[in-house]
Amino acid sequence: MPGAPPVYVFDGYRLDLRGRILFAPDGKPLPLTPRVLDTLICLVQHSRTLLRRDSLMDSIWPDSAVEPNNLSQNIAKLRRLFGERPGENRFIETVPGRGYRFIAEVHALPAAVETTRERTDGSRSLDEETEQLFRQALRRMQRPTAENCRLAVANLEQCVERNSRFAPAWAWLADAHLFAVNLGHASPDRLVEAERLAYQALELDPRSATAYAVIGTIDTHHGNWLAAESRLMTAVALDTRDFMPRTLHASFVLMQAGHLRRAISQLRQTFKLVPDNPVMLLNLAMAHSIAGDDNEALSCVRLATSFGFPEDTVLLSFVFAHAASRAGRQAEAAAYAARLFAPMADCGRLVTAVFRGLEDRKVRGKALCALDELRNRALEMPGSGMAVILVAEWLTRLGALDLAFGALNFALERDAEVHSRRPNWQTLWVPELAALRRDARFQPLAERLGLTQYWRTFGRPDC
């Protein structure tokens, strides 16, 4: 509808100007009095711009003379609504003596009736074979072996060849490439193609939640945490029923930033939407494992595998290895941990030597030699963030903090050369790395990862 007021999205919230309704990230409408809503609309429409108090008051009460305290009360109500703590400034910044600025990243989307997507994304004109290819690809991505990821890409490429205006196929093709990188099935070079495909989907359907989620997750690979937060929460606001944006936000933003409690809470809420989705269950299992709750992690794993998730993926190997090691079953832990280094020759012998050193400090020297070799090889593996951090974890447990920081910083230097960040830095927050996080050298490492800017906006880690 030409000239229709837009919909604004920010941090998962959706502000519909036509309906004069603010929707929460979970899709529920939020109660606002007319003047408080007018205050929010004025701030959002001029986001990142300092609005003087008198200008705001003229816009909100154009025909009335009111006390300045009325505006202060409206601002305070909005801050309470958004859950802002004193001094946090996630949404509204106060500039003393001058006015207010809305500082959350805002995206303006065209207002649309429900049939708009059907007309523009190509789904209405699908033939039966294209639809079958699309559904087959999504089923394969729920059981993401390397072969299934490859076949899903092939299915989706056929979809867009058959119908070049089928926006969901472009978006999920982008996600299939991204998924392969995140699982270690493909090198980070694939991210360039994933991003291109996601923008192609947005050209066809500017309201594609999947495309926004893919681009936001790619932002995390580059350490652009605030952009990732904005894009992923935009995806959540665009489709409150879609589990994928919520899952990616929890796993790739909240968990990597050390907001584990928030991540687990969000994933549990998502579980209620899709209790039988193995990919979502895997992410919840990882969150519980990183938090040190192995019983919950293994319970999620059992559910995920019962729904067809492959047991030999690197993420499940991580969960199994930590659960076994924490229970004192070091030989079993070594067998699972070796899977994370599977492309390496002789990785089983090296990992076994490490776990022997963790059990018996008399052979600590041999364990450190094995770790030196594992570190050097892990740095050559594509998308090996989890393997590198696991090496740092074992070095920390052996008391070799200098070597642990050296491994992590060297990995960042190598990543800078290819302008990408290894996935799975969320494993930095396992209990076993508490000594590393307490060390003064962790703060500079966090700055190199770009996390400190996120913490200034959304708070320090909660684990």
Q: What is the pLDDT of residue 318?
A: 94
- 143 with 183: CB under 8 angstroms? no
In angstroms, rounded to a whole number, what is the distance separating the alpha carbons of residues 331 and 352?
Answer: 7
Most confidently predicted of 141-150, 252-261, 423-432: 252-261
pLDDT tens readout for residues 340-353? 887 666 788 999 99
Residue with tokens 């392969």: 180
> One fold for both 7-109 and 116-241?
no
Q: CA of 159: how far to CAs of 59, 203, 316, in Å?
A: 50, 17, 31
Who has greater pLDDT, 1 or 300?
Answer: 300
13 beta partners: 10
Q: What is the pLDDT of residue 282?
A: 93
Task: For the chain, give the percent of residues with pLDDT over 70.
Answer: 91
CATH class of 7-109: mainly alpha
CATH class of 116-241: mainly alpha
Assign 4 a pLDDT band (cuts: 50, 70, 90): very low
3-state secondary structure of 102: strand
Q: Where are the domains of the chain?
A: 7-109, 116-241, 312-458
CA angle 366–370–373, rounded 5-degree value: 145
Q: CA of 431: how far to CAs of 326, 427, 444, 459, in Å?
A: 10, 10, 20, 20
* Tokens found for residue 440: 């003064």
Question: Does the structure show a pLDDT above 80 at 236?
Answer: yes
Q: What is the pLDDT of residue 212?
A: 94
Q: What is the pLDDT of residue 24?
A: 84
DSSP-assigned letters across all residues of 199-260:
HHHHHH-TT-HHHHHHHHHHHHHTT-HHHHHHHHHHHHHH-TT-HHHHHHIIIIIITTTT-H
Q: What is the pLDDT of residue 313?
A: 84
pLDDT tens readout for residues 11-58? 878 888 877 888 887 777 888 898 999 999 999 999 999 999 889 988
Q: What is the pLDDT of residue 436?
A: 97
pTM of the model: 0.78
